[in-house]
Amino acid sequence: MVTLPRNEVVNLGGISTAITLKIYGSIIGLSDHNSLLSTFTSISALIVCMLYFYRTLQDLPTMEIHKDPTIWIVIAALVYYSGTIFLFIVSNYFLKFDVSMHAVLWAFHNVLNIVKNILFATALWRSLLNRI
C-alpha cells in the first residue's frame, strides 16, 4: 500500500479546511447550501486522489494493484467527486431557469452515491480477502 508523505496530505487538508471555513463564515452563513463551496470541496478531493494515483504509479508496490483496497476507495472518491463537481456547478443554473431538471440532477447524485458505496464495499471485500 502506497501512502502520501504526511506533509503533503496535512498541507492540502489544512489549506482546504481554511478556505472552507472562510467561505462558510464570511460569505454564506451556516443556513444555506453553497454550490461554490461544494465545488471547491470536490476539486480538493480530486487533487488528493490524483496525487495518490501519481504516487502509486511511481512506486508501484505490486503488479496486482486491483487487490489493494485503498485503490478501490480512491476510485470511489474519483467517481463520486468528478460527478458531483459537474452537479454542483450546474445546480444553481437549473434552480434559476429549469426547476424540473433539479430532480434529475439529484437522481444523478443518488446514482453516483450508489456507485461510490458499491466501490467502498469492494474495498472492504478486498481487504477481507487480503487478510485470509
Band (pLDDT 50/70/90 cuts) for residue 26 is low
Q: DSSP character for 66? A: G
Q: How far apart are CA 86 and CA 105, in angstroms?
A: 10
Q: How far apart are CA 6 and CA 74, in angstroms?
A: 17
Predicted local confidence at residue 115, as pLDDT = 96
Contact 79, 117 (CB under 8 A): no
Contact 103, 128 (CB under 8 A): no
Residue for grid cell 485470509:
132
- Greater model confidence, 118 or 90: 118
**How is residue 64 written as a grid cell?**
496486482
| pLDDT tens-place string over residues 51-108 | 888 888 888 777 788 888 888 999 999 999 999 888 888 877 777 777 778 788 889 9
Longest dimension (CA), the chain: 54
Provide the percentage of residues in the chain whose pLDDT is more than 70. 73
98 C-beta neighbours (distance < 10 Å), count: 11
Contact 126, 72 (CB under 8 A): yes
Choose among 109, 112, 12: nearest CA to 52: 12
What pTM value is reported for the model? Answer: 0.73
